[in-house]
Chains A and B, each alone.
Chain A
Amino acid sequence: MNIVVCIKQVPGTTQVKINPETNTLIREGVESIVNPFDENAIEAALQLRDKHGGKVTVITMGPPQAVNALKDTIALGVDEAILVSDRAFAGSDTWATSYTLASTIKKIGAFDLIICGKQAIDGDTAQVGPGVSEFLKIPQVTFAVGVEINNGVMKVNRLLEDTNEIVEVKLPALITVVKQMNTPRMPSFKGKIKAKSAVIPQWGAKDINAEDNCIGQKGSPTSVVKIFTPPPKGGGEILHGSVDEMVDALVKKLRDRKVC
């Protein structure tokens, strides 16, 4: 079985804090990480490969330094990784990104399953997985928390708001996975050695036969016109006194504001 996993390198936002004086993001010491949901996507792919055989290929679209994220995945046991990088991709929104990743997958060739993380933690859109499947003309199953494959039919457990939906679909298909699906493995010593010497091919717009007006800013219907930090909430109040006094004060405040 041939599995392709799409990943994204994102700022490790767990460390992103707001400077209370300037109300801006403090980025000193913020390193790039593999998007956490994509780690689950890789783990899901490796588990399926280990069970059914085949090959796992990881792709990412990003700047040249994203090659480091790909090397990390080789250390985890991924068979092949490809960096899709070109100045022409700059300014891509989710439409152009989906198109670019789908064009890359077409170039790779035959596949059975595409796996993406539910969303990236920087943009939080959850739009690229479905976009890729549309460009590949294959069915999508989003928010997967469990997956099993028997005779080319995939059974997926979807984690929805207040239900789990169990669906079946014939491969090829694309799934996006949630954090609760699995616990990503750690790189092995052997894997780390392999990653060190791994040569990661870099493909540009021409290599994936991308149409000029479908990529980068030109291919992106949306554009950001303004970015700002949300106004601080303010008005925060720590209550004081004995437990009874604090509880009474809180209940009065909540009743006054008619919330309960």
Chain B
Amino acid sequence: MGIRVINEKCIGCKLCVPACPLGAIRVENKKAIVDLDKCNLCGACPSSCKFKAIEITKEDVHVVDKSLYKGIWVFAEQYEGDVHPVVLELLGEGKKLANDLGVELCAILLGDSSIEKETKKLIEHGADKVYVATAPELKHYTTLPYSTIISDMIRQYKPEIVLFGATTTGRDLASRIAARINAGLTADCTGLAIDKETRLLQQTRPAFGGNIMATIICKNHRPQMSTVRPKVFKKAVPDHGRKGQVIKVAPKIDQDDLLVKIVDIIKDATLKVNLAEAEIIVSGGRGLQAPENFKLVEELAEVIGGAVGASRATVDAGWISSHHQVGQTGKTVCPKLYIAVGISGAIQHLAGMGSSDIIVAINKDPDAPIFKVATYGIVGDLFEVVPKLTRKLKEVRG
């Protein structure tokens, strides 16, 4: 295990220097030199080198019999008995992967008895089989009982791929399961594909706040697990006559797994539309100047059926609750339309919304970084532009 520069091949072109996210490579006397104290063998430099002069050698130690693992599973996260919208996106994408591999697509659904109605929906959206485990203790998600039940199911049925939504629940659960069953887990994927030759799942995800993308594989461990960013993939189109199999699994509830008790769930009444699920988001920043001016953002959002987002500065100032915050320390969102009102576009904010389909920026400072990512920019006074935009949209939408 290690990294080496093959000096005969290296011409000192320096392509690898900027490719290293850790700044561990320098070129001296026309040869690349890797600082081993900084290098973490991430694999970025070999793919940047046009001369195949950098090599990462790896020992394969852990070998499972991969032929025993078949099929693709989707974790059907549910709230109050309804499956989360991301599940339908996972089924849509999971179906493509299943077709590429020629295997089944299955959903796993845990909850109390009220969830059984959702099995039909999962089948209509592409699941060939739905594994259902119901118990009163599973009504609300808590980490331990869910982890134990799903880990046991994975050990028993051996899927080759398991997909979770990259929601707070999906990330909490998938991490625990991966640690327990020694599986590979890739967080917050925005691209999934099957390598035809190796049948491996290629998982692409943003890192460094979206400044770089990494493709990750899990070569020798099974299952290959990913959490998948919501709103990136299209929802599966339902086929209402579709038939599938429902398999009931009797869950073993271990008392030791009930250590964490939910005592209250408090809904944020200011959230009219959930940000993570919104097709349109209108966000306000410090340019609004005062908390009461969020009204302008709210009115625009209401006219176009959007959710209200906010920059960190406005949340820190106490103008709006944290559930509205978009960016690195808040939510990562990916709507069809993102309208940034009076937001300068700090890199932390861009990390949370940069992958939106269409970005509109309204800001009086023409040099604001938000204009670099904006699809359409209006340089102007938001107090003049936003009310006119709201009025105009109201008019054309009838």
Contacts and interface: CB of A to CB of B under 8 A. Distances in A.
B268 A130 contact: no
Given A24-B19, A162-B323, 12 more contacts: A11-B23, A90-B39, A90-B41, A91-B40, A126-B171, A135-B179, A141-B260, A165-B265, A179-B329, A221-B178, A254-B337, A259-B336
Interface string A136-165: 000111110100000000010011111111
B380 A243 contact: yes
A131 B388 CA distance: 51
Contacts of A248: 392
B397 interface: yes
A168 B182 CA distance: 28
A161 B266 CA distance: 11
B215 A226 contact: yes
B208 A25 contact: yes
A159 B331 CA distance: 11
Contacts of B264: 165-166
Given A134-B179, A227-B44, A159 B215 contact: no
Interface in B10-56: 18-19, 21-23, 36-44, 47-48
Contacts of B348: 14
Interface in A82-98: 87, 90-95, 98
Interface string A226-257: 11111001011111000110111011011101
Interface residues of A, number: 98
A251 B385 CA distance: 12
B40 A95 contact: no
A22 interface: yes
A111 to B, nearest CB: 16
Interface string A109-122: 00000000000011
Contacts of A223: 43, 58, 216-219
Contacts of A159: 322-323
A167 B185 contact: no
B187 A124 contact: yes
Contacts of B23: 11, 27, 30
17 contacts: A14-B348, A16-B208, A37-B329, A121-B328, A122-B21, A122-B208, A125-B175, A126-B175, A160-B168, A161-B275, A164-B265, A167-B260, A223-B219, A226-B214, A227-B21, A228-B47, A251-B392
Contacts of B263: 155, 166-168
A225 B216 contact: yes
Interface string B253-272: 00000011111111110010
B187 A127 contact: yes
Contacts of B306: 260
B268 A251 contact: no
B396 interface: yes
Interface in B301-345: 304-306, 315, 322-323, 325, 328-329, 331, 336-337
**Nearest 10 interchain pairs by C-beta:** A221-B184, A130-B175, A91-B41, A221-B221, A134-B179, A24-B18, A227-B44, A125-B187, A224-B43, A179-B329
A210 interface: no
A13 B167 CA distance: 24
A196 interface: no
Interface in B174-213: 174-176, 178-180, 182-188, 202, 206-213
Interface string B45-72: 0011000000000110110000000000
Contact of A122 (B143, B175, B207, B275): B207
A18 interface: yes
Given A164-B268, A228-B212, A139 B36 contact: no
